[in-house]
A and B are shown apart, each in its own frame.
Chain A
Amino acid sequence: MTNTPAPGLPGGPGRPGTGTRSAPAPGHERAGEWAHRLWTAVRAADEYAALDVVTHALAAGLDAETVLLDVIGAVQHKVGAEWAANRMSVADEHAATAINDRVLAVLPVGRPDTFRGKVTVACVDKEWHALPARLLAETLRLRGWQVAYLGAQVPTAHLVGRIHRTGADAVCLSAALSTRLPAAHAAITAVQAIGTPVMVGGRGFGADGRYARRLGAEAWAPEARTAADRLAAGPLPGPRPPHQVADDLPHLADQEYTMVTQSSRPLVRETFQRLERRFPALAHYDDDQRERTAEDIAHIVDFLAAALYVDDPDLFTGFLTWTADVLTARGVPAPSCRAWTCWRNNCATSPAPAVSSAPAVTRSPPLPASHGHTGDGRQRMRCRGPAPPLARTAGAGQVGGPAAGFAHAVGLVPDEQGEQRRHGQARFRRVAQDLVRFDAVGVGASLAGVGEVTVLLEVGDDPLHGTLGEPAAGGDVADADVRVVGDGRQYTRMVGDERPSGVRSRHFNHAPHSTDLLCLTPDA
């Protein structure tokens, strides 16, 4: 897979992505026209035509970096935008990305005047979105660096062995999905331990690179040009002395992340089984639909684990927002997003903020500064600002917990109008219909919504530009007729309802096998 990523994180407007033109090179004006031609060729899945476009663009005098980032990179962005807008299928997207990848080979090999140094560029383990890293590798090569490009999903052991063998002045690591952050952290720490500084990039590290800092990377860059400029500006600072992964993230000592990760499969299984009991329509799903649903639950758990890892609820809620918005682009009606707003407002210490026309993602959630729940006697306010610890929020029996937020965010309750809208897939419509009867503000509904999540996570270059970045397309979070779900407890008992005194500590102390930490369904 070679495409840019999906979500992971709320982003601001004008958020730069890999290959965006933050610093247009000469010839940029003409690049748009070539990008259009390349897009036409890529859209027609015509590899030869695409190769011709790039060859001709170079012959017409466009410099290689402009062709790389403002023609090929721009097309890859468009692929993502088109996909997010549901105008391109997964297969089209794969094909387009494969052609773009092939086209990159046409670019001239840079013959640097001076030896700038060696850089290794790789995607972290399990990260399939390789094109952003490839664009960076080619950019650096054009600028005279000796680049070792290792491609998608590089196991950390491979990466380290490679650096031992060939040496590197810096390592650039790419992660498109925030679920890769634990793997990314392992890689960053390992590379630093062999004395090599690390620069990271990609959506996975947050729109502002916040996770890059948290995971201790020496540098972060939002896109290829910035990354190349940073490397050109001087060597990265030497890495810190060898240290343990947990040294960067002392909150991991509370075992929340460990617990959720270790029990993720049972968690998914249990949630799924309860869902089956609570939501009879599931029995009529075919195997594929059931599997998708289970995968969606697995993704929720993955994002929850990643959020726990970096101790940032925004990561989890950002995922939910993104999901809701991309679903909106697929004709899934907006209630999901409205409910989402509600959840955020429920969490707020202040009354619901007046929602401006700014994209939902730019409004940082006004989460409570302190939490009523002190069941385990530890008041953990370790993450910056007022964000409460995730699991506690989830466990506190509040509808304002992320899990409930998830339920509302992606739980869509299609209305008459929604029924008539275009649905991406038949199975999805059927689920949605069932949900009308189910009247689920809670979880069952959410699962219908996330039926898409799996697919969403696989593909899509930069869907954020297509949807999340634009309030109009991102769902009307500002909608005045927000439905009140603050009282959602009447529908949905959340995790920990029975035990507001602290699910987390209970699980850890007494029931490590327990699976209802993230149980989204109430007991029937």
Chain B
Amino acid sequence: MPASPDRFRARTASAMNAAAAPYPVVVMDAAGYVAELNGAARTLLPGARVGAALSSPDWLAGAHRTPGTGVVGGAVGERFFSASSSVLPGGDTVWWLVEETSYRSAVEELRAERERTRFLTEASSALLASLNLQRCMEVTARLAAEHLADAALVIAPTAAKKLPVVTCDQHGRLAHGTVSGAVQSVPGLPEALRGFPPVPSRWIDPAAATWMVPEGFGEVGSLAITPLPGHGVPAGALVLLRRAPQSEFSASEEAFAGLFAARAGAAMSAARLYAEQNAITDTLMRDLLPPTLRQVEGVEFAGGYRASVDTDRVGGDFYDVHPADEDCPESLAVLGDVAGKGLEAAVLTGKIRNTLQALLPLGHDHDQILRGLNSALRNAHSTRFVTLVLASARREERDVVLRLTSAGHPPPLVLRRDGTVQEADTGGTLIGVLPEITTRTAEVRLAPGETCLLYTDGVTEARGGPLGDTMFGEERLRRALLGCARMPAQAVVERVRMLADEWIGDGGHDDMAVLAITAPQGAPLGAVDGTAPGRFTA
């Protein structure tokens, strides 16, 4: 029903004048005809005429046709409005429109920003988790393929000609490979690998990069290359692939890829640094690690080591076995304990082990070796000293004959087949302190199955036990060995280590080393390869 001017005038008496409202107001009657528009509404809805049905916007007309609709909203041209209704006494409905354009865009931006932040947080924690370069490359490729593109490649620069590449395809599958010359064929890639700023994606012709495309990917629509900035050096390049016919990467997408790349690059260069440091440590440490022992010349050797700091691999205790050679018909085993702990002590053990190796030709005379070592240590700058045991071993028939010399060290224990445990009768002064030393060598014959155990005081002085404060002690060690006759050397060592470790529990301890020398039971010499060249260094 068309509204009459009379009714309009009657309503102007209202205390509230909608016509002057700064918001668009539309009054419609029950049939959907516009009864009234205020100035703002006329400006906003130029197509709306009083007395005509409201045709635009659809969402408002639709809401009017459905009584009971609460607040509605929608686009008007480029802008967004929400509309609330109130019913007039005459039955007409007033629609109050409030502009929400900036609110909506703020919400939208917030959502996108949150999305980005969540992704970057996820990316950071995933990237920070590992210090392994390959793993970092995998994580980078996977995250980029999931969030930034359809597929992604990570290329790491190395000194080698072939560069490692990790590809994550559109299904999230990872592939590893290498690339060499093909890098040059892609515009922007060599530059990115050298750390130059990225080339805009629209300049790059995807056709040049066929080698990058994962199998089954289809036609590449666009391609973006982002350098991965490292700690001062380029950490590689990230290549994003999008399938046709998607639009190319926008400037903001490329900028965001840059943010991600910054994190990935930092993680990758940290991983590279860690790997380099580790390689250096491993190289320097190689000669300090306890060697892997096995049977030498028909004599079984086994060693066990536990550094005072559980995360260390070296400490102030050491052992070595030097197989017999032309100069010396006996294998020489040595186990010792340098005063002090940790890396500094370990470095000294390395020196002592080297000095002992140089003194090997004197192997037949323990006293002479120890004198040589004593003068070498006293001449060195170090004020440290060392206690050690030398054991020369040779087979005689099925027995093993040992010459044992202790230099200020706990004498070795000998496990007999009858189950008794004896202490070798040897003694001497410690090395590196006094100008003159004395030694006393003991000769011990081991029948098959008998073992001679060399150990450091870290074992016997270990504190712990069920009551917490008891010393392991030599007596307990002897008791532990009672059951060990006829065991292989390795089993004896493991038993002692296990008991000592259990004794210590969670408590602190000194470096501990044990070395077992056993006359093998069973088949005669030669049944297995009994020789091994050089010093055994793991």
Contact = CB atoms under 8 A, between A and B. Distances in A.
Contacts of A89: 483
A1 B483 CA distance: 14
A241 B135 CA distance: 15
B130 A194 contact: yes
Contact of B130 (A1, A195, A266): A195
Interface string A72-100: 00000000000000000111001101110
A195 B488 contact: no
B535 interface: no
A378 to B, nearest CB: 30
Interface string A118-154: 0000000010100000000000000000000000010
A334 to B, nearest CB: 28
B490 interface: yes
B378 interface: no
Nearest to A167: B132
A2 B494 contact: yes
A165 B491 contact: no
A295 to B, nearest CB: 5
B487 interface: yes
A373 interface: no
A290 to B, nearest CB: 9
Interface in B450-473: 465-468
A165 B278 contact: yes
Given A91-B486, A167-B135, A268 B466 contact: yes
Contacts of A157: 310-311
Interface string B116-127: 000000100110
Q: In this complex, which of B466, B487, B495 has the most chain A Cβ atoms within 10 angstroms of its Cβ?
A: B466
Contact of A458 (B130, B271, B311, B498): B498
A89 B521 CA distance: 18
Nearest to A126: B501
B466 A193 contact: no
Interface residues of A, number: 49
B479 interface: yes
A177 B468 CA distance: 21
Interface in A176-217: 193-196
Which of the listed residues A2, A45, A101 has the most CB atoms from chain B within 10 Å of its own CB? A45
B521 A98 contact: no
Contacts of B501: 126, 128, 153
A94 B495 contact: yes
Interface in B252-303: 271, 274-275, 278
Given A164-B274, A265-B467, A45 B521 contact: yes
A247 interface: no
Contacts of B528: 48, 51
Interface in B134-171: 134-135, 139
Interface in A40-73: 44-49, 51
Interface string A1-13: 1100000000000
Contacts of B10: none
A502 B167 CA distance: 60
A294 B502 CA distance: 13
A242 interface: yes
A294 B466 contact: yes
Nearest to A288: B479
Contacts of B131: 164, 194
Nearest to A97: B491
Given A91-B486, A98-B490, A291-B465, A165 B311 contact: no
Contacts of B465: 291, 294-295
Contact of A101 (B490, B502, B523): B490
B404 to A, nearest CB: 24
Contact of A45 (B126, B129, B486): B486
A242 B487 CA distance: 45
A155 B488 contact: no
A297 interface: yes
Interface residues of B, number: 41
A194 B487 CA distance: 41
B291 to A, nearest CB: 16
Interface string A157-169: 1100101111100
A42 to B, nearest CB: 11
B498 A128 contact: yes
B289 to A, nearest CB: 13
B171 to A, nearest CB: 13
A483 interface: no
A164 B311 contact: no
A186 to B, nearest CB: 12
A298 interface: yes
A506 interface: no
B490 A102 contact: yes
Contact of A269 (B468, B484, B487): B468
B129 A98 contact: no
Contacts of B130: 164, 167, 194-196
Nearest to B507: A265
Contacts of B490: 98, 101-102
A91 B483 CA distance: 6
A48 B522 contact: yes
Contacts of B408: none
B363 interface: no
B145 to A, nearest CB: 14
Nearest to A160: B131
Nearest to A91: B483
B395 to A, nearest CB: 15
B527 interface: yes
A173 B520 CA distance: 33
A158 B311 contact: yes
Contacts of B310: 155, 157-158
Interface in A279-309: 288, 291, 294-295, 297-298
Given A90-B483, A101-B490, A291-B466, A49 B522 contact: yes
B485 A195 contact: no
A91 B487 contact: yes
Contacts of A272: 466-467
A94 B135 contact: no
Which of B468, B479, B498, B527 has most A Cβ within 10 Å? B498
B486 A95 contact: yes
Q: For B311, B467, B479, which residue has the most chain A Cβ atoms within 10 angstroms?
A: B467
Contact of A95 (B125, B139, B487): B487
A518 to B, nearest CB: 13
Contacts of B311: 155, 157-158, 161
Given A48-B528, A49-B522, A90-B483, A268 B132 contact: no
A175 to B, nearest CB: 15
Contacts of A269: 467-468
B132 A165 contact: yes
A161 B484 CA distance: 35
25 contacts: A1-B495, A45-B488, A47-B488, A48-B523, A91-B486, A95-B491, A98-B487, A99-B488, A102-B490, A126-B501, A128-B498, A155-B311, A157-B310, A158-B310, A164-B130, A164-B132, A165-B132, A167-B134, A194-B130, A194-B135, A241-B122, A268-B466, A268-B468, A269-B467, A269-B468
Interface of B: 122, 125-126, 129-132, 134-135, 139, 271, 274-275, 278, 310-311, 449, 465-468, 479, 483-488, 490-491, 494-495, 498, 501-502, 520-523, 527-528
